Structure 1
Amino acid sequence: MDIYQWIGFIGMIFIVYAYFLLQTNQVTNSSTRFQLLNLSGATLLIISLIVHFNLGSFLIEVFWIMITLYGIMKNYKKSKGSTK
């Protein structure tokens, strides 16, 4: 395994761990921890896919990142609105 495969492997662990935490009610889908694990994992997978390219996997990670960023922005706006 080269370094990029290891990076992708770590990214996969982050995403699976985030999903495990969600399923065991240790986080919610709007928690910062859940979102950052997903974002980090998808980003690491994108890095590995730049070297070991697969179009389907690349596209799903791009959408994963976009959806996660949307969730982070939504939660940020919600928290800003509740502090006023």
Structure 2
Amino acid sequence: MGIHVLVGLLGTACYVIAYALVQLKKLRMDANSYAYLNISGCLCSLYSLSHDFNLAAFVSQAFWLLFTLVGMRANRRALS
């Protein structure tokens, strides 16, 4: 198993942990840590895709990252 596969699995773990913590009410969706887990998951997945490219997965990850960053910016503006 190559390093890109392990990094991809780490990304999946980030997504699953973020989702589980929100569902268990241990983490709020507007928390920075939730966004950072999603960003980490996305970047790990994109790294993995750089070795075994899949266009559909790449597009999904790119939009996931974009929407996470937009959401973080909106939360920061709402707090100021």
- Report the TM-score when normalising by structure 1: 0.92
Q: Where has structure 1 moved over 2 Å in runs of 4 or more?
A: none
Q: What is residue 74 of structure 1 aligned with on the other side?
A: 74
Please provide the CA RMSD for this pair: 0.7
Q: What is residue 9 of structure 1 aligned with on the other side?
A: 9
Structure-2 separation of matches of 1:21 and 1:59: 26
Aligned length: 80
Structure 2: gaps (5+ residues): none
Q: What is residue 38 of structure 1 aligned with on the other side?
A: 38
- Report the TM-score when normalising by structure 2: 0.96
Q: Specify the structure having the higher radius of gyration (Cα).
A: 1
Structure 1: gaps (5+ residues): none
Give deviations 1:1-60, integer Å, cap 9, x for gaps. Answer: 100011100000001100000100111111111110001101110011011111111111
Percent of aligned pairs with the same amino acid: 31
Structure-1 separation of matches of 2:16 and 2:54: 20
Give the letter for the 2:24 counterpart. Answer: T
